[in-house]
Structure 1
Amino acid sequence: MHPGFVRAPELLPTPKAADLPAERLTGERCVWCGKTATEALSARISVVKGELMRWEPRSCSYCLCHEAKRVYTIHIGVCARCTHRDYCPDSRALYELGFPK
């Protein structure tokens, strides 16, 4: 994948939409903790109550950073393209999101 196409928030898994209250589905509240949302994750498509639904999850800055760190750690352990000297565009994007300067 071209590095310019990588958006780290799109790489983060979210809870199942069917299990979330309405304010987390609409992006008013953080999809993970329920606090006030400040960061957009990207549009998602999920099946809710048997119907296909487009929703736009959002996150608080703490959960966004925490999830990016968690996914980055998993990613570098399983990605065939990542080595100790060179990392793939996905891992670099996750690192920048989870470990801001």
Structure 2
Amino acid sequence: MHPGFVRAPELLPTPTAADLPAERLAGTRCVWCGGAATDALNARLSVVKGELLRWEPRSCLPCLRREAERVYNIHIKSGARCTHRDYCPDSKALYELGMPQ
């Protein structure tokens, strides 16, 4: 993927939409912990109660960084294109998102 097209928040898996309370689906609360939401994860499509739902999850910064670090660690261990000497654009974006500056 071209580095200009990588958006790290879009690489993060979210909890199943059907299992979330309304305020987490609406993006007013963090999708993971239910705290105050500050960061957009971008629109997602999910099937909830048999209907296609477009929702816009948001996250608090601690959860965003934790999830980015978790996904980054999985990615660099299992991604065929991603080696420790030549990280791919996805891993670079996840690293920047997950590691405090």
1:6-48 per-residue CA deviation (whole Å, 9 max, x = no partner) reads 0000000000000000000000000000001000001000000
- Please name the residue that 2:90 is paired with: 90
TM alignment of 1:41-56, pairs within 5 A: 41-56=41-56
- Please name the residue that 1:33 is paired with: 33
TM alignment of 1:12-23, pairs within 5 A: 12-23=12-23
TM alignment of 1:53-64, pairs within 5 A: 53-64=53-64
| Alpha-carbon separation, structure 1, partners of 2:84 and 2:23 | 41
Query: SS at the partner of 2:46?
Result: strand
- The answer to which of 11-20 and 77-86 deviates more is 77-86
User: What percentage of residue pairs aligned between the two structures are identical?
Assistant: 79
Partner letter of residue 48 of structure 2? V
Unmatched 5+ stretches in structure 1: none
Partner letter of residue 7 of structure 2? R
| Alpha-carbon separation, structure 2, partners of 1:88 and 1:5 | 12
Superposed displacement of residue 83, structure 1: 1.1
* Number of residue-to-residue matches in the alignment: 101
TM alignment of 1:63-74, pairs within 5 A: 63-74=63-74
Superposed displacement of residue 51, structure 1: 0.2
Superposed displacement of residue 63, structure 1: 0.1
